[in-house]
């Protein structure tokens, strides 16, 4: 990951140098540093809200801690990471070439679809997992890809359809296996891809710089919270089809 | 206040109100969650053990042992006569991945194999009925010969292939 793509006009930026810069006190890298901190705040906030909900709202649901809690904790982390990556993407307001827009749409749509599909597929079955994840991740993919026009939009749409159905399918196939371990690993790997996507932006466009105004942690946490609550309510109270996790 | 912050605040208030209500009326909460008092949800009950719940019949039954090899059910076909009681026992260790679900689609029989050692039913309806997992793999068949002695049509009675396709058994998942 040390070479720039062909045709890029920005200077070479290695992953190690980027990490070193982000965690230094260099003011040029403050937006990236803040985005990481805000994402962390969102994760902690969502986990606290989940804890409160599990002690009150979900306390009457039998086996909630064994069946739903690990999956909902993962969904809290996923919502925060997807939101954080989305805000990083929003912070760049430069016109982008088609190849970058396609990469944005594809990576965002596919990773969001995989994660949402796998989670809903586990708790609500393959039908509902596929439907919800396909729709949600297609919207995310199109939103991310539209920065460069129709190619990015189509790429985002395709990734959403593919990721949504594949995620749900994988969960259903692994129902007889230790599914939460797989989902934790899947979350980790998808997070790596989203972080790599953020790194790609830095390589392609350069750092955000001191003039960039990023959203407040409240705004980012609010967006993550909306996703998280909708996802949680659907996973727990939504319709179910076929075999689901925790039978 | 921005739109997203307003929406999040509304959702949070809604959840908090619901949480407070659920503390005072826990029964309502459990019912809303589609959860039975014993701990299984409606969906789980359907898949938990259909053999015991729906198809247990006293008297003589024709028993078959079903295994999965290379993505296909063996025996490939199960032939019975109309009116027979049929018991299909699963070789559970061979049912892995998406094959853990078993369906006789047109008879409405479905099972989650790790929780269900067998299914039983009465073959009331004659014809050829496809069996498979939730993704259409397995590709087996149950042939119920009519009680009046007539033979099934050629299309129904034609033998199934003994090997899977190039992509598992044709569901597209490669499993």
3-state DSSP assignment of residue A209: coil
Q: What kind of fold does domain B49-157 have according to CATH? A: Immunoglobulin-like (2.60.40)
Question: Pick from B86, B122, B97: which is nearest to A175 by CA?
Answer: B97
Phi/psi for A2 (5° steps) reads -95, -15
pLDDT along chain A (247 residues), means of 10: 50 72 78 88 94 88 88 94 90 78 90 94 91 94 87 92 93 83 94 88 75 81 94 92 76
Statement: the pTM of the whole predicted model exceeds 0.80: no
Give A108's contacts (C-beta < 8 A, 6+ positions apart): A82, A85, A86, A89, A140, A141, A143, A144, A145, A156, A159, A194, A197
- Which stretches in chain B have pLDDT values below 70? 1, 25-60, 153-175
The beta-carbon neighbor of B15 closest among A53, A241, A244 is: A53
| Residues of A (76-135) whose Cβ lies below 8 Å from B | 125-126
Task: Return the pLDDT at A148.
Answer: 80
Cross-strand pairs, B144? B80, B127
Interface ipTM above 0.90:
no
For strands B109-112 and B101-104, give the pairing: antiparallel
User: Which chain B residues are within 8 Å of A223, Cβ to Cβ?
Assistant: 4, 8
| Nearest chain B residue to A178, by CA | B97
Helix then strand then coil, in percent of chain B rounded to 5, is: 35, 30, 40
The beta-carbon neighbor of B22 closest among A57, A229, A247 is: A57
| Nearest chain B residue to A217, by CA | B5
The beta-carbon neighbor of B98 closest among A53, A172, A219 is: A172
Domain extents for chain B?
1-29, 49-157
For the CA atoms of B3, B9, B11, B14, the dihedral, rounded to the nearest 10 degrees, stands at -140
3-state DSSP assignment of residue B87: strand
């Amino acid at each position: 990951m040390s070479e720039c793509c062909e045709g890029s006009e920005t200077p070479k930026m290695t992953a190690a140098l980027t990490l070193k810069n982000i965690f230094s006190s260099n003011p040029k890298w403050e937006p990236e540093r803040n985005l990481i901190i805000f994402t962390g705040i969102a994760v902690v906030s969502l986990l606290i809200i989940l804890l409160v909900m599990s002690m009150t709202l979900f306390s009457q649901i039998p086996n909630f801690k064994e069946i739903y809690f690990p999956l909902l904790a993962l969904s809290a982390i996923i919502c925060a990471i997807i939101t954080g990556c989305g805000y990083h993407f929003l912070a760049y307001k430069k016109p982008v070439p088609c190849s970058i827009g396609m990469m944005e749409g594809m990576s965002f749509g596919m990773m969001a679809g995989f994660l949402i599909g796998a989670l809903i597929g586990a708790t609500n079955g393959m039908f509902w997992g596929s439907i919800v994840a396909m729709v949600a991740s297609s919207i995310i993919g199109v939103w991310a890809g539209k920065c460069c026009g129709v190619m990015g939009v189509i790429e985002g749409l395709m990734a959403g359809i593919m990721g949504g159905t594949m995620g749900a399918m994988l969960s259903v196939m692994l129902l007889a296996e230790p599914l939460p371990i797989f989902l934790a690993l899947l979350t980790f790997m998808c997070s790596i891809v989203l972080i790599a996507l953020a790194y790609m932006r830095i390589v392609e466009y350069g750092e955000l710089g001191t003039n960039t105004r990023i959203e407040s942690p409240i705004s980012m946490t609010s967006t993550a919270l909306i996703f998280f609550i909708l996802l949680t309510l659907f996973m727990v109270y939504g319709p179910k089809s076929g075999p689901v996790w925790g039978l | 206040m921005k739109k997203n912050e307003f929406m999040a605040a509304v959702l949070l208030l809604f959840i908090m109100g619901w949480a407070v209500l659920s503390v005072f009326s826990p029964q309502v909460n459990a019912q809303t969650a589609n959860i039975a008092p014993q701990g299984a949800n409606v969906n789980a009950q359907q898949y938990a053990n259909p053999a015991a719940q729906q198809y247990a019949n006293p008297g003589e039954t024709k028993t078959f042992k079903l295994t999965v090899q290379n993505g296909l059910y063996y025996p490939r076909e199960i032939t019975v006569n109309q009116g027979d009681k049929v018991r299909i026992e699963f070789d559970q260790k061979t049912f892995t991945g998406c094959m853990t679900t078993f369906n006789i689609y047109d008879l409405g029989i479905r099972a989650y194999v790790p929780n269900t050692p067998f299914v039983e039913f009465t073959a009331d309806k004659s014809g050829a009925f496809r069996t498979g997992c939730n993704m259409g793999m397995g590709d087996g068949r149950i042939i119920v010969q009519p009680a009046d002695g007539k033979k099934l049509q050629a299309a129904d009675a034609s033998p199934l292939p003994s090997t899977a396709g190039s992509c598992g058994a044709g569901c597209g998942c490669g499993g």
